[in-house]
Each structure stands twice: as structure tokens, then as C-alpha cells.
Structure 1
Amino acid sequence: MLDAAGDKARAGQAVAAARAVLRAEPFDVAALRLLGIAKEMEAEGRGQSLLHLAERVSRRDLITQLALIEHAARAGDLAGTLRHYDRVLAVHPEVDEQLFPILAAALGEDAIRQRLVVYAKRDWFTRFAYKALSLGADPVAYSALLVGSSGGLDPELAGQMLSRVIGQLVAEGRFADAKRVAQELSGPRGGAMRDLGFTPATLDPRLDTLGWRLADNEIARAFLERDGRLSLRIASNRTGEMARRTTLLPEGAYRLAVTIGYQPDTPRARLTWDVRCRGAGGAVLWQAMFPVKGGSQELGIVVPPRCAAQEWRLSATSALSQFPSEAQVVALDLAAAR
């Protein structure tokens, strides 16, 4: 009781001091804000006129903006809440740690995401986009925010974060969600997700493990030629992984058509394909070592039940030679078997 009485007395003294300040300086923002908060503590809404007056005097006042955020949120005014978030975060990056987790947790609401993209060109939005996933934002909702912000957010940052989203979803076994995000990146028909071949679309780094990842080191190197062929080069007397990709094929039988080519007068690398269900102890679906003569082959692959994700690996083995061994994947096509 004594503490409560003391608090009330101190609050009364502060209000009296604020009124005295306002008599001398009618637009002192701190005094206006203090009176506004005091009125709000008496009854919700009673201090809003004073808080808005304090905001008109200075939008940069942190405590005023935080009080207005709280009031707008309680009133269900989403546009107003985000407007005050914007005003705070634009000039007070020190409150990122306080406010970003709240925004991250709210991304599951469509209405909030749609209104947030209005601020995509703000510096604070870039800071938020970089941190939101690590703050617990749902990966699917977060990816929707990034895609919706493509007109304002730096494309390189958006690509990096979308890649991280897909990688996280695949690692967590949320394959349907990962596929949905990847299809948004691949266009309305999800072209890259429907194509097994080596193309600029299936090599899009934003797809993370759902796109082809090519070797590029001092032992093994794979790269796409202008004519669409995948060129492979591996150091003498070595074996190395050249390409890897995760697919999300539904169960069923498939026909795989592969064409391998070689350049004349160069050592030839022997290529090996390995396809297995992704996960602990993943069952091998198909393995094949291609003869170094090159040419085309058609093979059958069956994806069994409970094999929602499949990992494809292409390896190359070189001969002992003075020069690297080479090969080319001229064509690679996968279709449902009839």
C-alpha cells in the first residue's frame, strides 16, 4: 500500500512538472508525451490527443511512437500499428531487437504480410528480412513476404534468404512446403521443378538443394555451356562428385533418358549416377556407370511409397593422364513411364 501510494505521489509530481514545462514551452514533446501516457493510464483513449500532438511535434520521439504502437495494436488498427513501427525503426535501429521478434511472429497473418511489403524499400525492412528467419518466422510465410517484396528488396539478399528457406524446409522434411516455395520462384507452372535437366532455371541458386549444385574446385569442375550441355572436368586419376540435386517426385515409375558425349582427343571421364531416397539409410533407387564410348540410353526408375524426396548424384572418375579427363551431359530428361 505504501509503495502504491508513493508511486501515485511520484506520478502526480511528474504530471505537475510536465504541466509547468508546458506553460513555459507549449510544444515540449517530452512533457506532452508524459501527460498523454498519464491520461492513458487513467482511461484508455483519454491521452491519445496529447500523444498525437507530441508526435506532430516530433516523429522521432521513441517513447511516443511506442505508446502509439501499443494503442493502435489494442484498437486493431493494423495500418496504424505498422505506420508507427515504420517511424520508430526508421530512426531508432537500437529497438530492432525489441520489435523484430514481434513482426517475425506475426508473418503468418496474410494481412500483416501484405501491408509490410509497402515498406520493402526501407533500410529497416532489409535489416528485418535478414534476421526474421532466425527470429522464428515461419519459413513459408517468410518466403511469401520475400516474394511479395521483390520490387523493393535487394534481389541478391532476397535470393540468399529464399535459398536458406528452401534448405531449412528440406532439412526439416517439410517437402511439400519446400516445393511450394520453389514453384513460386520458378513461375506459375513451376518449370524448374518439372525439369530434371541442366538449365539456367534448374541451376538457380535460390532453389538451394532443389536445384542442381555443381562442383567447382581444383579437383572437379562442372559448368553449363551456351548450347545447354553440361561440361565436366576432373583432375587426373581422381573420382569426384560433379553435380547433386534433390527432387520431390511422387511415387511411381519413370523413364530416364540420358545422352553422354565426349570431345575428340581428350581423356574421357567415366560417369556414374546414384539416385536414392533422401534420409537416414535412404534406399538406393538406381545406380548406373556409363560406358566411356558415350551415346544415349533410356532407363527405368521407380520411386516407392514413403520416398518423398530423392537425391541425385553424378560422379566422374578420370584416367591416369597428363591432362584432366572430360565428359559432357548432352541431354537429361525424366518423364512418367506410360
Structure 2
Amino acid sequence: MPGAATLRPRRSRSPREWAFRGGFAIVALALGYVSTSETLALVLSRSNPARAYAINDHDGRIGVRLAEQLVTSGNAGPAQFAHAERIARRALRDEPLSAGALTVLGLNAQRRGDTAAARALFARSDALSRRELGTRLWLIEDAVARGDIAGALRHYDIALRTSTRAPDLLYPVLASAIADPRIARETVRVLEGRPAWSGMFVDYLATSGPDARSTARLFRALAQAHVPVPEVATANAVNALITAGAFDAAWNYYSALRKGADRRRSRDADFGAQVAVPTALDWTPVMLDAGVTASIQQSTTDGVFDFAAPATVGGVVLQQMQVLPPGRYRIEGRSVGIAQDDGQRPYWTLLCIDGRELGRVEVPNSSQAEGRFFGELTVGAGCPAQTLRLVVRPSNAIGGVSGQIDRVELRPS
């Protein structure tokens, strides 16, 4: 039979061989169980370090996580702190280079009032790893307590470079702290080095900073130090000052950004400024409805404001905030393509910040006086800020209303 020569009768194994093979299988199974249980414990330690520690109490990483949980729980008492210290010391024996274990021991030393021992432990932790956030936070607090602002900011910088959790913890604190001029100056010095976190912190300040005035001061200091601040951040900072009712501060910061701006006049009379991110103090087209278009269209030298609204639709299509001193003012400009019946033509209105209308000037049809328009407006005392608006009236014309403003200026009369 083909292949018969390859067949061999099975040799029966001796009891000794079977015992050896069985023992080897048991050892392999035991090793596999230990390896699997250790891996499981390490994974589990992120969500339940106490249970993980019960599975494997010889892994220093797991011990550190449990000790950290014990000392940072809000209701930790003396027994928990003592238990955490025992676990941390054992973790340090298992993992001699464990910065986390030293952090726990340092926190316990501080709790006992032994600041010297705490400093020594945190210094060892710092020498082992720059990524231990608990150590970095303690070093920040210690530097602040000693009045070492430069040292505190140095540790801020390290924490924000090395920990993904640090921004959530430290941005709000630093954003509040820059109200202190000394801290603001040191923060500018650190940001001059362009650390990787600087852009995110600037964005945080512009959108979530607790004090708009402090944010604007820091941004101006950064500009003076030749540290670029994104236009969207500066626009947000100006608008935050306006929202806070700090109109003078908003104008001061805005005028530093827009050289030559005069608070007694509207800005950008011919729509040629090409502002990528407008503030409330710049021209801002307003989209009323899905059928309305409102945009500033620019050429190489100047621009034009173009608008269109369907029949029976009206409202604000363009606006610019003002910070005019009390007095009489003249608005003048030129339109293109406006042709509407009486009572349906667009008009300019100046509103006080409290909602009072200070006056309005109708835009005549563009066929009259080459489209030129003008009028007088008065700003009285007690009106620190105003908004100049172009309002479209609902039209009965089938095509609605459309046109362009190629120039407009509000100036002292």
C-alpha cells in the first residue's frame, strides 16, 4: 500500500514520561494564569485600584494608583493616610524609581506638617520624572507660598508641557492669577519662549478668561514682546470687554490693534480694511433670514457692502459699534442700485447701548443726487456706547430690495 512504509506503530509512553508532561502542562498553565492575572490587574487599576491591588499587590504601579486614590479622596482620614503610606512604601520597594510613590509620601509628610521632609521627597520625585503631575502641583504651591513667582511659572510650564491633564487644572488658575501684574509679567516672559501650550492658553483666555481687562492687558504685553496673538483671540478679547461693559477699555485695546482709529468717527468708510475676524467695533454684516444676503465685497483698493432681501422681509443687515463722546454728528455716504417706493427704503439708525434710538437717516433711491445721502444725529450725555445700523424695510416689490453701500462715514458735525 502506498505510504505504508511511513506508518509506525505508536510507542506507549512510560508513567514517568506522562508525569513529566503533565507537570510541565500544569506549570505552563500556572504561569499563564499569573501573567493573565497581572495584566488584568494592571488594566483594572485605572478604574478600581483597590480590586486590582487585591489581585496583585506586588506591582508598584498598582500600589501607587491605590495610594493616590486614598490620599486624594475628599473624606480621607488618618487611617486612610496611614494605609496609603504603607502601600506607597511597599510600592517603592517594588518600583524603586516610582515618582508616584514619592509623591504620596510627600503629601503625607506635608499633612503631618513636616515641610522639610515633604520638600526632600518631592525633590526626589522631581529628579526621577518631570511627568509626575502630583509632584508638579505641589512644587507650584510651594513656590507660591515662598513668593517665588518665577519658580511657580517654571513648574507651570513643565506641567503643561508634559501632562495632558494639566490644562484643565492649571489654565483657570493662571487665567485668574494674571490679574496680578507680577504674575502677568512672568507669564509673558514664559510665553516669549513659545511653549507648545501657549496657543491653547491664549485661546482659553480669549474665550473663558474670568477678567476681560486682565486678558486685554496680557495680550497687549505679548504684542509688545513680539509674541503673536491670533486675530480671533484679539477679536474675542475686544468683544469680551464690550460684553463686560468696559467700553473705554475695549476702545483702548481696539485702537491699539487698528492704528489711526478715532473714537469720534466710524471706521473703514469705504469697506476696504480686509479684516479677517471683525470685532463689534468693525463693520459686521448681519444675516437676517435664509433668503437674505449681506456681505462686504473688497477689491485691491476699497470695497462695497452688498445686500439683498426678498419681498416682505426686513431688518438689520449691517452694523458697527461706536464709542462716541456726547455731541452732534453727521452721517454721509453713497448708495448704488437702491430703487424703492416711499416708506420702503433702507435707513441708518444710531442706537444707544441701552436701546434708545438717537436718530435715523433714510437712504434715498440711488438715482437721486448720484446716490449720495447725509443726515444729522445727536449723542447725549449718559450714552457711553452706541451702534450704527443699516436697516432694510420690508418691500412690496416682487424682487424684494437690494443694493450696495460703497461709502459711509459718521463724524463730528
TM-score normalised to structure 2 length: 0.65
TM superposition shift of 1:213: 1.0
**Which residue of 2 is the match for residue 313 of structure 1?**
389
TM superposition shift of 1:178: 2.0
TM superposition shift of 1:47: 4.2
**Which residue of 2 is the match for residue 241 of structure 1?**
316
How many residue pairs are counted as aligned between the two chains? Answer: 321
| Gap change, CA 1:33 and 1:291, over 3 Å in 2 | closer
Secondary structure of 1:93's aligned partner: coil
1: CA distance, partners of 2:229 / 2:382: 39
The partner residue of 1:253 within 315, 322, 328 is: 328
**Which residue of 1 is the match for residue 283 of structure 2?**
212
**Which residue of 1 is the match for residue 407 of structure 2?**
331
Q: Give the conservation status (yes or no) of the 8 Å contact 2:270–2:406.
A: no
TM superposition shift of 1:29: 2.9
2: CA distance, partners of 1:200 / 1:185: 16
| Gap change, CA 1:233 and 1:30, over 3 Å in 2 | closer
- Structure 1 position 222 matched with structure 2 position 295: yes
- Structure 1 position 173 matched with structure 2 position 245: yes
**Which residue of 2 is the match for residue 29 of structure 1?**
99
| Gap change, CA 1:198 and 1:107, over 3 Å in 2 | farther
Residues 113-134 of structure 1, C-alpha deviation per residue, up to 9 Å, x if partnerless? 2322333744444443444466
Q: Give the conservation status (yes or no) of the 8 Å contact 2:216–2:253.
A: yes
2: CA distance, partners of 1:169 / 1:202: 23
Secondary structure of 1:173's aligned partner: coil
Residues 83-135 of structure 1, C-alpha deviation per residue, up to 9 Å, x if partnerless? 11122222322243332321121121223223223337444444434444665
1: CA distance, partners of 2:80 / 2:274: 65
The unaligned stretches of length 5 or more in structure 1 are none
Residues 258-288 of structure 1, C-alpha deviation per residue, up to 9 Å, x if partnerless? 23344xxxx63533111121214x1x22212
Secondary structure of 1:315's aligned partner: strand
Residues 145-199 of structure 1, C-alpha deviation per residue, up to 9 Å, x if partnerless? 34444666672xxx33433333343234322222223223223x44688443243
2: CA distance, partners of 1:221 / 1:295: 19
- Larger mean Cα displacement after TM superposition, 288-297 or 127-136: 127-136
The partner residue of 2:145 within 74, 91, 94 is: 74
Q: Give the conservation status (yes or no) of the 8 Å contact 1:106–1:112.
A: yes
Q: Give the conservation status (yes or no) of the 8 Å contact 1:268–1:319.
A: no
> What percentage of residue pairs aligned between the two structures are identical?
23
Question: What is the root-mean-square deviation in Å for CA atoms of aligned residues?
Answer: 3.6
2: CA distance, partners of 1:214 / 1:12: 63
**Which residue of 2 is the match for residue 48 of structure 1?**
119
1: CA distance, partners of 2:144 / 2:364: 67
**Structure 1 counterpart of 2:232, which letter?**
Q
TM superposition shift of 1:11: 8.0
2: CA distance, partners of 1:115 / 1:194: 37
Secondary structure of 1:210's aligned partner: coil
Instruction: Considering Cα pairs closer than 8 Å and 6+ residues apart, tell me whether 1 or 2 has the greater RCO.
Output: 1
- Larger mean Cα displacement after TM superposition, 77-86 or 94-103: 94-103
2: CA distance, partners of 1:130 / 1:182: 18
TM superposition shift of 1:289: 1.5
**Which residue of 2 is the match for residue 290 of structure 1?**
363
The unaligned stretches of length 5 or more in structure 2 are 1-75
**Structure 1 counterpart of 2:128, which letter?**
V
1: CA distance, partners of 2:101 / 2:295: 67
- State how 1:296-307 maps to structure 2 within 5 Å: 296-307=372-383
| Gap change, CA 1:75 and 1:190, over 3 Å in 2 | farther
Instruction: Name the structure where strand makes up a greater proportion of residues.
Output: 1
1: CA distance, partners of 2:277 / 2:95: 59
Residues 21-72 of structure 1, C-alpha deviation per residue, up to 9 Å, x if partnerless? 3xx9765434554555566555434543442232122111122212211111
Q: Give the conservation status (yes or no) of the 8 Å contact 2:363–2:373.
A: no
2: CA distance, partners of 1:9 / 1:316: 74
1: CA distance, partners of 2:108 / 2:307: 74
- Larger mean Cα displacement after TM superposition, 322-331 or 47-56: 322-331
| Gap change, CA 1:318 and 1:65, over 3 Å in 2 | closer
Q: Give the conservation status (yes or no) of the 8 Å contact 2:219–2:229.
A: no
Greater Rg by CA: 2
**Which residue of 1 is the match for residue 15 of structure 2?**
none
**Which residue of 2 is the match for residue 85 of structure 1?**
156
**Which residue of 1 is the match for residue 16 of structure 2?**
none
Secondary structure of 2:216's aligned partner: helix
